[in-house]
Chains A and B, each alone.
Chain A
Amino acid sequence: MKKVLILFSHPKFEKSRVNSSLVHHIKDKSNVTFHDLYEQYPDFHIDVAKEKELLNQHDIIIWHHPFYWYSCPPLMKQWIDMVLEFNWAYGPEGKALHDKICLNVITTGGSKAVYCSEGYNSFTVKQFLRPFEQTAILCGMVYFPPFAVMGTHNLSDKALDNYKINYGKLIDLLQNNLAPNDFKNHSFLNEIPQLKTI
Chain B
Amino acid sequence: MTGSILFEAIVFLAGAIICVSIAKRVGLSSVIGYLLAGVLIGPYVLGFIGEEGEDILHFAEFGVVVMLFLIGLEIEPKNFWNMRKTIVGMGGIQVSVTILLSYLLFSLLEYDWKVSLVISMAVALSSTAIALQTIKEKGLMNTTFGNSSFSILLFQDIIVIFMLGAIPLLSNSDNEAITENTNENTNLLESLPMGFQTLAIILSVVFIIIAGKYLIVPMLRKVAKTGVRELLIAAALLIVFSISFLMEYVGLSPALGAFLGGVVLSNSEFKHELESTLEPFKNLLLGLFFMAVGASINFIVIAKNPLTIGGVLLAIIVLKGLALFITAQIFKLKIDQKLLLTFSLAQIGEFAFVLLSFAFGLNILEQEQMDMMLVITALSMSLTPILSMINERIILPKIGTKESIKRPMDHIAKSQKIILVGFGHFGSTIGRFLRSHGVEATILDHDSNRVDFLRKMGFEVYYGDATRIDLLESAGIADAKIIICATNKISVSRAISKIVKDHYPHVELMIRTKNRYDAYELLNMGNENIYRESLETSLVLAKDVLSKMGFRKYTLNRQVQNFLKYDADSLRRLAKEPKSEDEYIFKARKELEQQEKFLMEDFKRGIVDFDNHWDSEHIRKALNKT
Contacts and interface: CB of A to CB of B under 8 A. Distances in A.
A43 B554 CA distance: 12
A81 B614 contact: yes
B613 interface: yes
Given A81-B613, A81-B614, A82-B613, A45 B558 contact: yes
Q: Lowest 5 A-B CB distances belong to which pairs?
A: A45-B561, A86-B619, A82-B613, A92-B626, A87-B622
Nearest to B615: A86
B618 interface: yes
Given A43-B561, A45-B561, A86 B618 contact: yes
Contacts of A82: 613
Interface string A28-46: 0000000000000001010
Interface residues of A, number: 10
A91 B561 contact: no
19 contacts: A43-B561, A45-B558, A45-B561, A45-B562, A48-B613, A81-B613, A81-B614, A82-B613, A85-B612, A86-B618, A86-B619, A86-B622, A87-B622, A91-B619, A91-B622, A91-B623, A92-B622, A92-B623, A92-B626
Interface string A74-107: 0000000110011100011000000000000000
A92 B614 CA distance: 18
A92 B622 CA distance: 9
A106 B597 CA distance: 50
A191 B612 CA distance: 42
A87 B614 CA distance: 14
Given A85-B612, A86-B619, 17 more contacts: A43-B561, A45-B558, A45-B561, A45-B562, A48-B613, A81-B613, A81-B614, A82-B613, A86-B618, A86-B622, A87-B622, A91-B619, A91-B622, A91-B623, A92-B622, A92-B623, A92-B626
What secondary structure prevails in chain A residues at the interface with B?
Answer: loop
A30 to B, nearest CB: 29
A45 B623 CA distance: 28
Contacts of A45: 558, 561-562
Nearest to B618: A86
Residue among A48, A86, A91 with the highest chain B CB neighbour number at 10 A? A86
A49 to B, nearest CB: 11
A162 B612 CA distance: 44
A96 to B, nearest CB: 16
A42 to B, nearest CB: 11
Contacts of A92: 622-623, 626
B568 to A, nearest CB: 13
Contacts of B558: 45
B610 to A, nearest CB: 11
Contacts of A87: 622
A78 to B, nearest CB: 9
B554 to A, nearest CB: 10
Nearest to B622: A87
Interface of A: 43, 45, 48, 81-82, 85-87, 91-92
A43 to B, nearest CB: 6
Contacts of B622: 86-87, 91-92
B355 to A, nearest CB: 62
A176 to B, nearest CB: 37
Contacts of B623: 91-92
Interface in B576-626: 612-614, 618-619, 622-623, 626
Contacts of B613: 48, 81-82
Contacts of B626: 92
B557 to A, nearest CB: 8
B604 to A, nearest CB: 18
B321 to A, nearest CB: 51
Contacts of B619: 86, 91
B268 to A, nearest CB: 38
Contacts of A43: 561
A96 B613 CA distance: 18
A106 B619 CA distance: 32
A43 B536 CA distance: 14
B157 to A, nearest CB: 50
Contacts of A48: 613
With a 10 A CB-CB cut-off, give which of B561, B562, B626 has the most chain A CB atoms.
B561
B257 to A, nearest CB: 51
Contacts of A85: 612
A43 B618 CA distance: 26
A121 to B, nearest CB: 30
A194 B569 CA distance: 49
A85 B613 CA distance: 8
B613 to A, nearest CB: 5
A85 B558 CA distance: 17
Contacts of B618: 86
A87 B623 CA distance: 10
B488 to A, nearest CB: 27
Nearest to B626: A92
A16 B173 CA distance: 83
A47 B618 CA distance: 20
Contacts of B561: 43, 45
A86 B625 CA distance: 14
Nearest to B614: A81
Contacts of A91: 619, 622-623
Nearest to A48: B613
A155 B614 CA distance: 40
A86 B613 CA distance: 10
Contacts of B614: 81
A81 B554 CA distance: 15
A61 to B, nearest CB: 20
Interface string B475-512: 00000000000000000000000000000000000000
B556 to A, nearest CB: 12
B437 to A, nearest CB: 12
